[in-house]
Amino acid sequence: MSSKKDKFYLKLALNLAKQHEGLTSENPSVGCVIVKNNKILSLSKTSINGRPHAEVNAIRLANTNDLKGSTIYVTLEPCTHQGKTPPCTDLIIKKKISKIVYGSNDIDKRTANKLKIALRKYNISTKQVKMKEITDFYKSYFYIRKNKLPYITAKLACSNDYYIYSKKNKNITNELSRKTSHLLRYKNNAILISSKTLNKDNPFLNCRIKGLENYSPTKIILDKKLNYKKNLNIFKDNTKKCIFFYNYSNKKKLSILKKNKIKHYKINLDNQNNLDFIEIKKKLFKLNINYLLIEGGKELTKSLIQKKHINQFFLFKSGKNLNTNGQLKIKEIVNQLNKRFKNKMNLDIHLNEDKVTNYS
């Protein structure tokens, strides 16, 4: 089969993997396509929460009698080790699939670069087809595995003249931009803000796209002195998926969190008298939060960019100026982004007058 066809099926597998990006717990999201005689037998991706794997799902969806002699295309090297589930290669061997084409090597030491050796005696051929799109897709997974820390995405929305608040209207950007930002919430395990933003905006911090409401992220609040107000919208969320990080104990406020069954952790202060964000990241990783979205205000965002805590940034920019109606200008943050990140890409997602820039 030609390299052109290999890339076609791998790109199809990548599009499948993207559907569950950020939703597969500690496992990577993988796409899988099974082909025989230029006909697609089945296709699938890693299940939400990480199991079953993409290969298992695709094999189960195919007619068993057709699998013998087929080719399986996967975005990431199939696992060869016994983890919480048997290795995917066991099922591939059992179903007599004759060839595996994959895009990227895994970083997991238990399985990395072991595919060819594991399958050699079964006469199953393996072929890696490297594609930049696949390598870029797994950048976050590789970071998480290597550093044992969550991959952090941040976002801000501003007017054309760089204000993040309007005296007249609550929303700076248009509806399409807001829906796109809600997709970011869907793609991340948790969303983090400061208590200052919490008290000022009183947000729900959920995903408000029809059909995706159940994938709303866990809410993370940085509240050093437990200054949160009562009767906030986050307390009205029946899921109670919320975590507070604090330093100064306040018995009354702690009792409210306990009453609402909200998790809370005391964190040390750094040398600038702020909550130690490195400690917070380590704690979040232990809590199985691998993908974190930050929707902080100006000062928190500025600080986290400066300290290099952010892996990726989305800037939503309206095509309209606020002029004298604008509050809190972030031009200095945009200058920070241009200096801090090597890659800057304007996303063509048809947001009418709004623009979104991805820094990575």
Catalytic residue IDs: 55
In sequence order, what are the residues at sequence separation of 6 or more whose Cβ sits closer than 8 angstroms to the Cβ of residue 133?
A: 11, 14
Q: Do residues 183 and 291 lie in contact, with contact meaning Cβ atoms separated by under 8 Å?
A: no
DSSP characters for 195-221?
HHHHHHH----S--STT-GGGPPEEEE
327 contact partners, CB below 8 Å, separation of at least 6: 163, 164, 165, 166, 167
The Cα 185–Cα 203 span in angstroms is: 13
Asked if 241 contacts 263 with a C-beta cutoff of 8 angstroms, the reply is no
Q: What is the DSSP letter of 228?
A: P
CB 45 within 8 A of CB 29: yes
Residue 71 CB contacts under 8 Å (≥ 6 apart), including other chains: 1, 34, 35, 36, 97, 98, 99, 100, 101
- Amino acid code (one letter) for 28: P
C-alpha–C-alpha distance, residues 263 and 327, integer Å: 33
3-state secondary structure of 87: coil
